A and B are shown apart, each in its own frame.
Chain A
Amino acid sequence: MGRRAMGQWSLVAVIALGLMARPALGADEIVLGSAISQTGKYAREGKFYVDAYTLTVDAINKAGGVKVGGKPYKLALKLYDDQSDPNLSVRLFTRLVTSDKVNFLLGPYSSGITIPASAVSEKYEVPMVQGGGASGKIFDRGYKYIFGTLPKAEFYFQAAIEAAAKFTPRVQTAALLYSNEAFDRSVADGARQWLKEQKIDKVYDEEYQPSTQDFTSVLAVLKSKSPDLVLVAGHEENALNFIRQAQAADMAPKMMVFTVGPPTADFRKTLGKAAEYVFGITPWLPDMDVGGEIFKSARDFAKQFQERFGYEADYHVASGAADVLVYKAAIEKAQSLDAKKVREALAAVDVETLYGRVKFEPTGQIAMGQVLVQVQEGKLVPVYAFGKMLAKPAYPAPKWSMRK
C-alpha cells in the first residue's frame, strides 16, 4: 500500500470515526429526536422514557439496525431536556426539526406537554410517535402526524368500573376525584360515562390541583359520604398522598382505584402495607404473554431493562420502547426515510411487540385496552381485563384497623 493510499484510507477512517462520534445526522443514521423531561416535576417519569429509548435503540442497532433498500441504517437519539415546561418543549421540538433536522420525533411525557409538542410535528409534517400522552385532546384535532401508544384516557377506568359491577357485593356508589390536567379530565369524562352505563351512583365528583399535597379535607368529605368505590386520577405523588392520608383518616372504601402508582414497584415499596387492596390499571405487565422482534417477550425485555438500569420496567417504559420499535417496522415497510411515506406506513402499521400488538386507530391512538390490577401481599395481580375475570379480587377491602 503506497503512502498516498494510506493517507486516503486514514482520511476515510477519520471521517467515519467523526460520523460515529457525532450524535447528529450521519450518512447511514436515522436520528430520532425528542425533548423529554429530565428535570422538573416530570423528571421521574421522563427518565423512564429516556432509558426505554436508549435500551431499544441499542438493541435494534445490535441486531443490525433498520434496513432500507437493503442497506442497514443505525438508529441514533437526539434528546433534549424540556424541564417539564410545555413552552420550552415547543421550542426544543422546533429546533429538533428545523436546525438539527432529525428524521423523526419521539414524544415527550404527559398529555399537557404532548398537546403543544404535537402541533410542532404537525406543522413541519414530521411524524411523532409518543408513549407518554393519552388524553383524547392530543388526538381529536385531526392531526395526521401524531401517533400514541398509551390507551385512550377515556377508557382508563373502564375495566375497573366494569369489574366493580361484577364484584360481590356489587358496588353501588362511587366517588370520582381527578386532577385538573388535560389527561385526568379526559379520564374523568370517560369514568362518568362508564359509571352511568353500569348504573353506579356518583356521590362525589370533584377536581383538584395536581400540586395538592393535603387531601385530609377531601377525605373527611368522602368519609361522610362513604362511597363503595373511590376512583382517583392524578399523578403518582397524588396517589401516594391520598392512600397514606386515607389510612391516617381511617377512610376505607370497599375498592380504591388509581390511574397511576400500583404498577410501579417503587410505589408499592414506598407504601409498604398501606398499598394492600389498592387497585390500579396498566396496559402492560412484564409477565404478559406478548413479544415480537428485537425483544422476544415482555419478560425478556423487563430482564434486560432491570440489568441495565437497576429498576423494574413499568408500562411507561414498555410504551416508550414500543415507540422506537414501531418506527423500525414503519420505516422498513415504507422502504424510505421520507417523512410522508413513513407517516403512511405508521398509519397502517400492525406489529407485535414486547408491549403487545401495536395498531393505530384513524386518530393516531393505539387500539388497546387496560388491565385492572390489584396489590395483593406485595405482588401486583391482574384481576380483570377485556370482559374476563383473571383472578379473585381481595374485595371488599377491610377497615384499616382490621388489617394485619
Chain B
Amino acid sequence: MLALQVLINGILLGGLYGLMALGMSLIWGVMNIVNIAHGALIMLGAYVTFWLFTLWGWDPFVSLPATIALLFVYGYCLQRFLLNLIVRAQLFLTLLITFGVEVVMVNLVRIFWSSDLRQVTPTYAGANFAVGAITIPYVRLWVFVTTAILSVLFLLVLEKTRLGRAIRATSEELRAARLTGIPVAHIYAVTFGLGAALAGAAGGLWGMLFPITPIMGGALTLKSFVVAVLGGLGTMMGAIVGGLVLGLAESFTATYLGPTYPNAISFGLLVLILILRPTGIVGRRA
C-alpha cells in the first residue's frame, strides 16, 4: 500500500517537474540557449499568482492565464531586446547573460517584495480525498491535471500550427527558414516568450504547493536542467518523461533509502543516462 501511495505521489509531482522543464527544453532546443534564468521566471510566475491571489483574491487556478500572458510578454521582450543581441554568440556568452538576468531578477524581487516566505493558500489548500488507504490531495491532483492540459496544448501548438512549424523550421535549419521569409528575430522572441510562459505557469502551480521566496529559482533551474537532459534535449516529450522519471525516483528514494538521498540518486541517474544513452530517454539517436 505504501508503495502505491509513493507511486502516486511521484507521478503527481513529476508532472509538474515536466512542465517546468518544458520551457527550458524549448528554448534550449530552438536557440541553443541554456537559460540560467529559467528558475527566476518560475519564481516570477509564482509571485504573480501570489499577488493576484493576495491583492485581488483571484483563485490561483483562475489567474493562471493572466500569469501565462504576463510572463509571455516579459519573455518576448527579454529575447527581442536583450538576448537576440547575443543569440549567435558562443554558448558561454548566453550562459553568462542569462545568469546576469537571473541575478538582477532575484535581487529586484528581494528589494521590492522582501525575502519573506510567501504562500498561496486558497481555502481548499489542505483538502484531500481517500481511495482505500491512499490519500490524494486535491491541489496536487488539479495541479497535475492542469499540467497535463497545458503540456498537450503546447505540443499541439508546436506540431499543428503555422507558428509551431515556423519555430521548428527555425530550430532545424536557420538559413532555409530565413530564405522562406520567416522573421527569425520575431520567432526567437515568441519562442522565448512561450518558454517563459510555461515557466510562469509552472511557477503559479508550484506556488500552490510550496512556499515562494526570491531565491527559490536556483534549485528549480537545476531541476529543470536535469529533467530536460534526462528526457532528451530539445524533444518536448522528453521533458515530460524526464519529469515523471525524476518525480518517481525522488519519491521512491526518499521512502526506501531516506530523505537525504533524492538528490544523489537524481544526479546519479543523470550521469548514468548520459553514459548509456547520451541523447536522453526518448531523445533521437544522432
Chain A contact residues, CB within 8 Å of chain B: 39-41, 43-44, 47, 177, 180, 206-209, 211-218, 220-221, 223-224, 236-237, 240-241, 244, 247-250, 266-267, 270-272, 274, 400
In the complex the two chains form, is A250's CB within 8 Å of B251's CB? no
> Nearest chain A CB to B8's CB is how many angstroms away?
9
Tell me the bound Cα distance from A223 to B251 in angstroms.
15
Tell me the bound Cα distance from A248 to B125 in angstroms.
7
Given contacts A207-B258, A207-B259, A270-B119, A237 and B213 within 8 Å (CB-CB): yes
- Looking at the complex, which one of A44, A209, A237, A274 makes contact with B259 (CB distance below 8 Å)? A209
In the complex the two chains form, is B260's CB within 8 Å of A221's CB? no
In the complex the two chains form, is A214's CB within 8 Å of B115's CB? no
Given contacts A211-B219, A249-B137, A250-B135, A221 and B115 within 8 Å (CB-CB): no
Given contacts A39-B110, A209-B263, A270-B117, A248 and B137 within 8 Å (CB-CB): yes
CB-contacts of B115-130 with A (<8 A): 115-119, 121, 125-128, 130
Number of B residues, CB within 8 Å of A:
40
> Nearest chain B CB to A247's CB is how many angstroms away?
3
In the complex the two chains form, is B126's CB within 8 Å of A244's CB? yes
Tell me the bound Cα distance from A249 to B141 in angstroms.
12
Looking at chain A's contact residues, the main secondary structure is: helix
In the complex the two chains form, is B13's CB within 8 Å of A236's CB? no
- Looking at the complex, which one of B1, B2, B126, B137 makes contact with A274 (CB distance below 8 Å)? B126
Residues of B contacting A241 in the complex (Cβ-Cβ under 8 angstroms): 210-211
In the complex the two chains form, is A217's CB within 8 Å of B117's CB? no
> Nearest chain B CB to A76's CB is how many angstroms away?
26
Residues of A contacting B252 in the complex (Cβ-Cβ under 8 angstroms): 217
- 23 A–B contacts, CB within 8 A, in A order: A43-B110, A43-B115, A43-B215, A44-B116, A47-B115, A177-B259, A206-B259, A207-B258, A208-B258, A209-B259, A209-B263, A213-B219, A214-B254, A216-B9, A217-B252, A220-B255, A223-B135, A237-B117, A247-B125, A248-B127, A248-B139, A249-B128, A274-B126
In the complex the two chains form, is A249's CB within 8 Å of B116's CB? no
In the complex the two chains form, is B9's CB within 8 Å of A250's CB? no
Tell me the bound Cα distance from A211 to B216 in angstroms.
10
Residues of B contacting A220 in the complex (Cβ-Cβ under 8 angstroms): 2, 5-6, 9, 255
Residues of B contacting A223 in the complex (Cβ-Cβ under 8 angstroms): 135
Tell me the bound Cα distance from A14 to B63 in angstroms.
59
Tell me the bound Cα distance from A290 to B211 in angstroms.
35
In the complex the two chains form, is A41's CB within 8 Å of B215's CB? yes
> Nearest chain A CB to B131's CB is how many angstroms away?
12
Tell me the bound Cα distance from A241 to B209 in angstroms.
8
**Does B250 reach chain A (CB closer than 8 Å)?**
yes
> Nearest chain A CB to B17's CB is how many angstroms away?
10
In the complex the two chains form, is A217's CB within 8 Å of B255's CB? yes
Residues of A contacting B161 in the complex (Cβ-Cβ under 8 angstroms): none
In the complex the two chains form, is A221's CB within 8 Å of B255's CB? yes
In the complex the two chains form, is B250's CB within 8 Å of A214's CB? yes
- Identify the 7 closest CB pairs spanning chains A and B, nearest first: A247-B126, A248-B137, A208-B259, A217-B254, A43-B115, A216-B9, A217-B255
* Interface-central residue, A41, A43, A207, A400, by most chain B CB under 10 Å: A43
Residues of B contacting A237 in the complex (Cβ-Cβ under 8 angstroms): 117, 211, 213
In the complex the two chains form, is A248's CB within 8 Å of B140's CB? yes
> Nearest chain B CB to A212's CB is how many angstroms away?
6
Given contacts A40-B215, A237-B213, A270-B119, A217 and B126 within 8 Å (CB-CB): no
Given contacts A220-B5, A241-B211, A180 and B260 within 8 Å (CB-CB): yes
In the complex the two chains form, is A248's CB within 8 Å of B258's CB? no
> Nearest chain A CB to B108's CB is how many angstroms away?
12
Given contacts A39-B110, A44-B115, A212-B262, 12 further A-B contacts (CB under 8 A): A177-B259, A208-B259, A209-B262, A217-B6, A217-B251, A218-B254, A220-B255, A244-B125, A247-B126, A248-B127, A266-B116, A270-B119
Residues of B contacting A221 in the complex (Cβ-Cβ under 8 angstroms): 2, 255
The residue in chain B whose Cβ has the minimal distance to the Cβ of A238 is: B211
Per-residue CB contact flags for chain B residues 240-251 toward chain A (1 = under 8 Å, else 0) read 000000000011
Tell me the bound Cα distance from A321 to B128 in angstroms.
44
> Nearest chain A CB to B118's CB is how many angstroms away?
8
CB-contacts of B252-278 with A (<8 A): 252, 254-255, 258-260, 262-263
> Nearest chain B CB to A202's CB is how many angstroms away?
15
Per-residue CB contact flags for chain B residues 124-155 toward chain A (1 = under 8 Å, else 0) read 01111010000101011000000000000000
Tell me the bound Cα distance from A290 to B9 in angstroms.
48
The residue in chain A whose Cβ has the minimal distance to the Cβ of B125 is: A244
Tell me the bound Cα distance from A237 to B9 in angstroms.
20
The residue in chain B whose Cβ has the minimal distance to the Cβ of A214 is: B13
Tell me the bound Cα distance from A47 to B116 in angstroms.
10
> Nearest chain A CB to B222's CB is how many angstroms away?
10
